[in-house]
Amino acid sequence: MNMKDTGMNKAELIETAKKYMNEQFPRFDFIAEKAKGMYIYDEEGHAYLDFLGGIAVNAAGHCNERVSKYVKQQVDEMVHSSNYCFTIPQIMLAKLICETIGMEKIQFQNCGAEANEAAIKLARKYGVDNYGPERYKIVTALNSFHGRTLGTLAATGQPDSAIQKGFAPFTPGFKYAEFNNLEAFKEAATDDVIAIMVEPVQGEGGVFPADKEFLEGLRKLCDEKNMLLIFDEVQTGWGRTGELMAYMTYGVKPDIVTMAKAMGGGLPIGAMCTSEKLMNTFGPGAHGTTFGGNPVACAAAYAQIEELLEKKLSENAKEVGAYFREKALTLPHVKEVRGLGLITGIEFDQNIANELKYTCAEKKYLLMTAVRPAVVRLVPPLIASKEDCDKAIEIMRETILEIAK
């Protein structure tokens, strides 16, 4: 659907949106009408260099030809059946993912929060079934983000942020420990804890990569105490950090891994992967979903992952991400640059992130922020080039000089 189909102009469309839609956050002042590759195009055809990437979703680029082809074909054949039926896209995607990342079983969900909910439920049931009703607690990291459902909200370690304020009482059974502090996690891992759940790179929290020794220590701790290690790879999965999954970057394999965003090629899909033994904890009726593994979403995900593998986009993410962070260090008012692959956080010495985001959008360059008001987060498509990075840096440089005090 384009603007001509609506019979309204830009101002009328935006007014209609404000009248009927609840806003998650203030939107950019344009209507995204088309997209291709590294660019989004507004209602007048202006091109915006996209380092927001649909919030780490469009890993193979906007309107990737392979993804579009598979989706169009599947829409013509079948849009939805139900999970009472076997469907070819779901079967083939399950095989592709499990064999590619070295997991045995997968359960499809609709998004990252649902994938994390499934992981939490699986860990709890495993603990109760095998060790008794008192062993259900999960330790997560301070400054983490695992989703906005009540369960994943409780798992999110940001008690003083707007993300959690006003939604108490939370689902019980979660404890928080300082990220990258192995001793804090050891102290929190009491006898009633069944799992540790962390992001290999904290994204929403400000882009903080885990130390290798920290994740290695968590793996050892979980093995020693018969606990499960869960990696939330909703944002880091499928090439973002320079390997197909972030746990491959670190050489630390979790018991359970969750994914979404980049796996779907732009369509909503998520998944939880684990071993056959653990997945068998979910007996009939224990966990389910109506739309999880939808044929169209699975077709898009299959195409997206094929594209990531064939074009070796994780390798491009590693090379281009390192180049981008090196250039980012030359920006004015930079306090620190953090990241891994093509997830980068730039922290400034002033709280200018939000203003930078909207002013850069006016200059046809898109980025996003983190919870911290001094941090911008960049998660562009994994097809980004060094030339794209140079252009992005120059727009940021110009904008920072305009807005910084």
**Residue found under tokens 């987060």:** 377
| H or E, element range at 3 | helix 3-6
| H or E, element range at 328 | helix 313-328
- 392, 324 contact by CB (below 8 A): yes
Please tell me what DSSP assigns to residue 62. Answer: B
284 by DSSP, 3-state: which?
A: coil
Query: Which among 266, 141, 274 is positioned nearest to 204, based on CA atoms?
Result: 141
In the beta sheet, which residues pair with residue 387? Answer: none
- 334, 403 contact by CB (below 8 A): no
Q: Tell me which residues are annotated as active site.
A: 145, 232, 261
Cα 303 to chain centroid distance, Å, stands at 18
Cα gap 375→210, rounded to integer Å: 18
Return phi, psi of residue 17, to 5°: -60, -45
Which ranges constitute the DSSP H helices of 52-149?
53-56, 65-77, 88-101, 112-131
- 376, 313 contact by CB (below 8 A): no
pTM higher than the cut 0.95 = yes
Which ranges constitute the DSSP H helices of 102-211?
112-131, 150-155, 182-188
Residue type at position 369: T
Cα gap 301→92, rounded to integer Å: 10
Cβ neighbors of 99 (< 8 A, separation 6 or more) are none
pLDDT tens, position by position, for the chain (405 residues)?
A: 888 888 899 999 999 999 999 988 899 999 999 999 999 999 999 999 999 999 999 999 999 999 999 999 999 999 999 999 999 999 999 999 999 999 999 999 999 999 999 999 999 999 999 999 999 999 999 999 999 999 999 999 998 888 888 888 999 999 999 999 999 999 999 999 999 999 999 999 999 999 999 999 999 999 999 999 999 999 999 999 999 999 999 999 999 999 999 999 999 999 999 999 999 999 888 999 999 999 999 999 999 999 999 999 999 999 999 999 999 999 999 999 999 999 999 999 999 999 999 999 999 999 999 988 999 999 999 999 999 999 999 999 999 999 998
